[in-house]
A and B are shown apart, each in its own frame.
Chain A
Amino acid sequence: MERFINVQISEIIKGCKDRDARCQKELYNRFFGLMMSTCYRYCSCRQDAEDIVQDGFIKVFDKIDSFDGNGSFEGWLKRVFVNMALDKIRKQKMQFLSINEGDNEDYLIGSTEQEEMEENELLISIGRENLVKAIQNLTPMYRAVFNLFVIEGYTHGEVAEILEVSEGTSKSNLFKAKKKLRKDIKKLLEAKYAS
């Protein structure tokens, strides 16, 4: 594989379009880490993320002809993997036994300026690794909304469309996700300082 070191990504993509197994392996090796990082945020454990990444690469090799070379390949790749992760969440959503969809009491409280400042400080102090852990502790739906809105930068309207929920639900889920994150991060920091 050494001879691939200086090969441009466009050459590797071309090889993948010709179904050259060496190029496919090189593409897999180059992007495995990045795609794992992406999928890891949408899953509750590493095994689930790995399953999505393995299936995702098989799909990418099958559908690579649809990448027309316009725009970033990394962006295209990421979209495929995020969609794979979301498909899994949508399936889980179908399985949700929601005895009552209400419980909007938390949403009524809203986010205050004070809370936002506190949130900011917490995030800076906790670091990325711990934040990923806290995100993984969220329920699948909260996790999806948080990732799509905060990290991927989608609007609530877009998130609602992607996850097939109402815009209000997206907002409410984001609020609750952040509230849970704040609580978990606080706990983590308390444990850290106590030790």
Chain B
Amino acid sequence: MNVTIRFFAQFRELFGPVHELSVPEGRRLTEVLHEIAEPNPDGKTALFSPDGRLRDYVIVMQGSERIEHDRAAALELRDGNTIAVFPPVAGG
């Protein structure tokens, strides 16, 4: 199945804007994010804490719905899903 992961703000500089992936049925969202981050040490540090969990400030959205991190860990992706991942920008 095909899924799209879109990154914004500084995550875009770390991972690029869009990852269009073909993944096996039943693949979980955080598994996919780990696969994207694994070859990228700076990106991995920005996205995940040392225990492998998404950093608490990372925003994960499916459409207009925020995916809470506990749910992201268990969320099985479906064909055609588009997920947005970004950190809040803080400067002013």
A and B from one assembly? no
